[in-house]
Amino acid sequence: MRQQYARRSRVLAGALALFALAIVVQMTRIQNSPEADVFRQESENYAYEWRTFYPNRGEIYDRNGRLLAGEKIVYEIGVDLTVMTDAHAISYAVADALNLDYNQLMEVIQNPPEGISYIVLADYVDASEALYLQDLKKALNDQAPEGSVGGLTGLQFKSHPQRSYPENALGSNILGFVNREGKGYFGVEEKYDSLLAGNPVTVLVPTDPNKAFEIPHAPDGTTLILSINRDLQAAAEDILDTALGTYGARDGVIAVMDPQSGELLAIAVSRRMDLNQFWNYGAVYDSATEFNPVISKTYEPGSVIKILTMAAALDSNTVTPETTYLDTGSVLIGGVTIENWDKNPWGIQNMVGCLQHSLNVCMVHLSTQMGATTFYNYFDAFGFGHLTGVDLAWEAPGRLKVPGDEDWYPVDLGTNAFGQGVAVTPIQMMAAASSVANHGRMVIPHVLYAMVRDGRQYQVPEQFGATPISTQTADTLNNMLAVSLEDESSLALVPGYRVAGKTGTAQIPVNGIYDSEQTNTSFIGWGPVDDPQFMIYVWLERPTESPWGSETAAPVFSEMAQRTAVLLNIPPDWVRQKLVSK
C-alpha cells in the first residue's frame, strides 16, 4: 500500500515539475516575442516623451568684464479656457497691467479658434508686471468665498529667457541683436550666432513629475569676451555726437584699434539703436550698410590714402624722403588735368613737404613713376578690394579698379593715388595703415578677445595679415608723417604724445561731378610714434561748417586720442622715455 502511494507521489511530483517547466518556457517565449517588444515600447512611450531642451544663450562681456549682452526672464501670459471663470475680470486686469486694449482681449478670449483651449494674451512680459498679475490672482483667490474660485482663475504664466542688453544702445553697431526666434542679426550676435546659441539636446524625459530629477540640462552657449573697452566706447560715442553738432555733419564714425594686435577697442557710429527694442530697426536705418558703416559702407577716402601711395613709392625705391620734384600746381594724365586741393603751385618740394601739404600733383607724380603694375600690386597687397576678415557680420570688400577692367581708365592711375576713384571701408583703411604703424606687417582687425566654455577661458591668438612693405619703409614713413604734422602745427597734435597721421578731404560726386562743397572729411593717426598703442580713424560725412579734414576730423582725432591715452593709462612720452632710460 505504501509502495502504491509512493509511486503516485512520484508521478504527481513529476507532473508538477513538467507543468512548472512548461510555464517557464512559455514565459521566456512571451518575453522574447515581437508582441512583447511592442508592448514594452508602448509602456515606455507612456512613461516618457521626446523633448528638446534649448541652452541659455552665451553672454557677451567687454574686455574688463562689463556685461554687454545677457539673458533675462520674461513671461508669456495666457488663459486656460477649460478652467476660466470670468473673461471680463481677466481682460480688465491684463489690459490695466500691460496697457493693452480691453475690448481686443475680450474678443480673443470669447471667440477662440475651434478646438483651442489655451489662448496667449501677451508674451515677453517683464517679470515685474507678471509678478503683479500673479499677486493679484492670488489675492482674489484668497478673498473668494469658500467653495468658489477667484475671478482670475485660468490666467496662466509661463517663464522663458529673452536677450537683454543692459547698456541699451551703447555699442549697438558692434553687438547686433537677437530676434524673438533666437536668431542673431548683425555684429557679434550674427557672426558668432552658433557659438552663442549652443547646441539643443533632444532626449526622452519622464512624464511622471516624481521623476523630474531625470530631466537633463542643455549646456549653455559659449560666453564671449570682446576686445572692446566699454568706457572707451562710451567716450567715442560722446565725442562723435558732439562733433556732428559742432561741424554740422550728416553722419560719422570714430574707430579705435590697437595697431600692433588688431584688437578693436571702440567703434562709434552716429546711428545707434536700443537693442532691447530691436523691432525699431527699420525706423533707424534705411539699409543694412548703415548699421555699422565702419565695416559695411564704402566711400572714396581722399587724402588719407596718400599714406599708402607714399609707402609704395618708398618701398619700391621710387623715391626717398629727400627726393625733390617741382610742383607746378597741375599735371596732365590720361587726357585729364589734375590740380592740387588749392589749385596753386608749391614749387620744389621733398617727400615730407608732399605729405605735409597734401599735394595731389605729387601723388600723381609718384604713381606714374612707379607705373600701373607696381602701384596696383601694392594697393592689392594693402587689401583694397578684399575683405579684411574682421569678425563682424556684413563686411563689404570695397572696389579697386585695375588695368584690364572695363571701367578703368589711365586717369585712374593718378586719381587713385590721392584717394578718388577707389572705394574702401574705414576698417580697410585701418588694416592697411597698420602696416606703417606696425613695422610693415598688417594686422587683422577683430573684436573677439576670449571665449569661455565649460568653465574654461580660451584666449584668441593675435592675427596678422600680409607684410606689404619692409620694416625700414614703415619706420621711415612713420617719422615722415609725424614731422609733417609737427611742421604744420596740425590740429591733430596731442599734447604730451608724438603722433603720426594724415588728413583726408574727398569731394563727393553729385550727378557724376565732384562737388567741392560736399565732402567726406577724415583723419587716420596713431601714437605714441615710438610704440603705437592706439590707431584712431575719424570720418565725418558732409560737414557744413568746413569742407576740410584738417579743420574738422583732425581736432576730433586729437580729442579722441587724449581720452584714449587717459582711459588706456598710457603715460606721456617723457614719462615712458624716462622709465626706459633707467
460's CB contacts (< 8 A; 6+ apart) are 446, 448, 449, 450, 451
251-257 β-sheet, strand order: 264-269, 251-257, 534-541, 513-527, 500-510
Which residue bears the cell 578677445?
Answer: 449
Helix ranges (DSSP H) in 277-326: 281-284, 293-296, 306-315
| Grid coordinates belonging to 446 | 577683430
Report yes or no: 521 and 530 within 8 Å, Cβ to Cβ: no
Please state which CATH number belongs to domain 55-164.
3.90.1310.10
Q: Does domain 230-581 sit in CATH 3.40.50.1970? A: no
User: CA-to-CA distance for 30 and 43, rounded, in angstroms?
Assistant: 16
What is the distance of C-alpha 222 from the center of its chain?
Answer: 16
| CA contacts within 13 A on the Cβ side of 254 | 31
pLDDT value at position 39? 47
* Structure confidence at residue 454 (pLDDT): 84
pLDDT, one tens digit for every residue, the chain (582 residues): 555 555 666 666 666 667 667 676 666 766 666 655 544 554 454 567 777 777 889 999 999 999 999 999 999 999 999 888 899 999 999 999 999 999 999 999 999 888 888 999 999 999 999 999 999 999 888 887 766 666 888 899 998 889 999 999 999 999 999 998 889 999 999 999 999 998 877 777 676 655 555 566 678 899 999 999 999 999 999 999 999 999 999 999 999 999 999 999 999 999 999 999 999 999 999 999 999 999 999 999 999 999 999 999 999 999 999 999 999 999 999 999 999 999 999 999 999 999 999 999 999 999 999 999 999 999 999 999 999 999 999 999 999 999 999 999 999 999 999 999 999 999 999 999 999 999 999 999 999 999 998 889 999 888 899 999 999 999 999 999 999 999 988 999 999 999 999 999 998 887 777 777 789 999 999 999 999 999 999 999 999 999 999 999 999 999 999 999 999 999 999 888 877 766
How many CB atoms sit inside 10 A of residue 450's CB?
15
State phi, psi for 292 to the nearest 5 degrees: -145, 85
| Residue range(s) occupied by CATH 3.40.710.10 in the chain | 230-581
Q: Which residues pair with 251 in a beta bridge?
A: 541
Instruction: Tell me the three state secondary structure of residue 516.
Output: strand
Taking phi over 0 as left and psi of -120 to 50 as alpha, with beta for the rest, 416 belongs to alpha
- Rg over alpha carbons for the chain, rounded to the nearest Å, is 36
Which pTM value belongs to this model?
Answer: 0.86
Find the helix packing angle between 127-143 and 87-98, rounded to 10°: 150
Domain with CATH 3.90.1310.10 in the chain: 55-164
For residue 113, what is the DSSP state? P
* DSSP letters spanning 354-386: HHHTT-HHHHHHHHHHH-HHHHHHHHHHTTTTS
Between CA 373 and CA 381, with CA 379 as vertex, the angle to 5 degrees is 100
Q: In this predicted structure, what is the pLDDT of residue 104?
A: 93
